[in-house]
Amino acid sequence: MSVEEAAYAEVDGYRVAVERSYDPDTHVWACVLAPDRVRIGMDPLGVETSGTLAQLSFLPLGTPLRRGQSFGGLEAAKFVGPLTSPLTGVLTACNEAVLNNPGLPEVDPYEEGWLVELAPTAMDTELAMLVSGSDIVPWFTQRLADYRLKGVIAQ
């Protein structure tokens, strides 16, 4: 399914793309566009818990990345720190639009607000480590409840 045809579920006011895979620890998603091309971005909870995004930066194109390694950084109202890759691969594209307008992931985290693309080198193995398919909505629902219970986000 292409990015333009992506399916979404509504979870307590949040739009969640169900055709992507999610790193449950970092709230970064991966969308397979082709066997050699994966798009990466932040999910709505990752965006909200970071606060208003002020600046994004990315490593140079061609940089090799390992799963869990930083591909860039973000400065936001509630968080300053690294953006970590959910997959191993080589950085092949950066979304210039989000560099010029860091608020795009807040408005549209799945389409206009994507962050980077990479050419994966261990995709089959590493995608299995991410939340996907029928597990997405229950995982997102539980994470949302946990964040509300802890006061990380408002009710």
The mean pLDDT value of the chain amounts to: 93
Number of domains present in the structure of the chain:
1
Tens digit of pLDDT for each residue in 125-139? 999 999 999 999 999
Range of the domain at 12: 3-149
Q: Report the percentage of the chain scoring pLDDT > 90.
A: 88
Structure tokens at 31: 């969308």
Return the CATH number at 38: 2.40.50.100
Residue 76 lies in a domain: yes
- Using CB atoms within 10 Å of the CB of residue 128, give its burial: 0 to 12 exposed, 13 to 18 middle, 19+ buried: exposed
**Nearest CA-CA partner of 116 in 100, 92, 132:** 92
The owner of tokens 């795009």 is 104
CA distance 20 to 40: 9
| Alpha-helix residue ranges (DSSP H) falling in the chain | 44-50, 96-100, 104-107, 123-127, 136-149
Question: So what's the pLDDT on residue 78?
Answer: 86
0.85 exceeded by pTM = yes
pLDDT at 6: 64
Quick: pLDDT tens for 40-62: 999 999 999 998 999 999 999 99
Q: Is residue 84 part of a domain?
A: yes
Kindly state whether residue 141 falls inside one of the protein's structural domains. Answer: yes
In a domain, 73, yes or no: yes
CB 33 within 8 A of CB 15: no
155 found inside a domain: no
